[in-house]
Amino acid sequence: MITVIANLKGGTGKSTVAFNLAIWLISTGRRVTVVDLDPQKSLTDAAVLRGEEGIVPRVPVETGTFSEVRLPENAEEIIIDVGTADLGSFKQALMIADRILIPVTPSQADIWSTQRFVEFLYKNTHGNPAEALTFLNRSDTSREIHASDEAAAALQTLPGVRHLPQRLSNRMGFRDSFSEGLSVMELEPRSIASREFKALAEHLYGTGYRSILDRLKKQKASAAMDPAFHAALETPSARAGAHTGDTTAPAVASVEAARTEKGRKSTGGKRHKRKESRKRSKTRKEKQAAEVGSVKDRKKSKKGQREKKRKKPKK
């Protein structure tokens, strides 16, 4: 099975996910090959470091452009890490994918980028792409966790993709392990980060994996397009992109639009309270200014009366 890990936007953690996924698959006894088509070669660097340190199992990596790499026939699983700097290899990888895994960080910019990527995907696979799966990567932990919830809700509204409930949090374990040529499961086997990644990997390759693979192959063999997807793309931004050939037309998905009615009411209530608070503050300031002015007027009046008495001639 060929899994391509991709997104139009950089900095979403594609290479880290690909590296950890490859090591997890190898640990289950599968024959795995990793293909690094990203010109930055971060995944290749981690695999080379792993080999130099004598860490086993080794992670076999093919690198270069799409036309240069050779996919081994005996590989059960192929993981392809792609970057947009080599657009030709990027498009070719999408064409051979059995499924496309899209890491998304929880921000409005990434939601927009993912929407553009789905449009790009359909336009560059002749309307017959592999199944696209999104999941949140580098999501919030204890603070601002509602931002991740809103991003997940927005991703669920995107046509043509399926959003996975599993999340990878923004934890140091992922960065530290990758820089040492290790998976997070090897560096911190009992950590929350390790449990999160295992949950994602088991969802992708665990129970029912073969039936999922069969279903994906049938979907890829079918040239039929989902009419609902076309209808969803019939937005001013999508039409503009189709007319001009611009695949970066503004996206229609929005974190704000994905908020629940309760959230919208809560936000509106907070705005109303802030507005009322500003009004009360303004009223207090005006009242204080009026009182100060009144005191000054009284002082001036008393001073004027004293001066008038002094100037009054004696009889």
Taking only the tens place, the pLDDT of each residue in 22-34 is 999 999 999 999 9
**At residue 249, does pLDDT exceed 50?**
no
Grade residue 313 by pLDDT with cuts at 50, 70 and 90: low
**At residue 273, does pLDDT exceed 80?**
no
**C-alpha closest to that of 183 among 6, 10, 18:** 18
pLDDT on residue 140: 84
Most confident option among 42-46, 219-223, 243-247, 283-287: 42-46
- Asked if 125 contacts 6 with a C-beta cutoff of 8 angstroms, the reply is no
**At residue 51, does pLDDT exceed 70?**
yes
**At residue 253, does pLDDT exceed 90?**
no
Residue recorded with tokens 């553009």: 116
For the four alpha carbons of 143, 144, 149 and 154, in that order, the dihedral sign comes to: negative
**At residue 45, does pLDDT exceed 80?**
yes
**At residue 271, does pLDDT exceed 70?**
no
**C-alpha closest to that of 113 among 81, 146, 158:** 158
pLDDT on residue 59: 96
Structure tokens at 86: 């080599």
Grade residue 127 by pLDDT with cuts at 50, 70 and 90: confident
81-97 pLDDT per residue, tens: 999 899 999 999 999 99
Burial (CB count within 10 angstroms: exposed 0-12, middle 13-18, buried 19+), residue 131: middle
Give the whole-angstrom CA distance, residue 5 versus residue 136.
Answer: 13
- Tell me what the mean pLDDT of segment 259-281 comes to: 57
Give the whole-angstrom CA distance, residue 256 versus residue 235.
Answer: 18
- Asked if 201 contacts 21 with a C-beta cutoff of 8 angstroms, the reply is yes
pLDDT on residue 209: 61
Give me the chain's average pLDDT, please. 80
Give the whole-angstrom CA distance, residue 279 versus residue 285.
Answer: 10
- Asked if 217 contacts 150 with a C-beta cutoff of 8 angstroms, the reply is no
* Residue 10 CB contacts under 8 Å (≥ 6 apart), including other chains: 83, 84
pLDDT on residue 122: 92
pLDDT on residue 141: 77
Of the candidate ranges 137-146, 155-164, 238-247, the one whose mean pLDDT is the lowest: 238-247
* Number of Cβ atoms within 10 Å of the Cβ of 44: 20
pLDDT on residue 235: 38
pLDDT on residue 48: 97
* Residue 31 CB contacts under 8 Å (≥ 6 apart), including other chains: 74, 75, 76, 77
Share of the chain above pLDDT 70, in %: 65
**At residue 135, does pLDDT exceed 50?**
yes
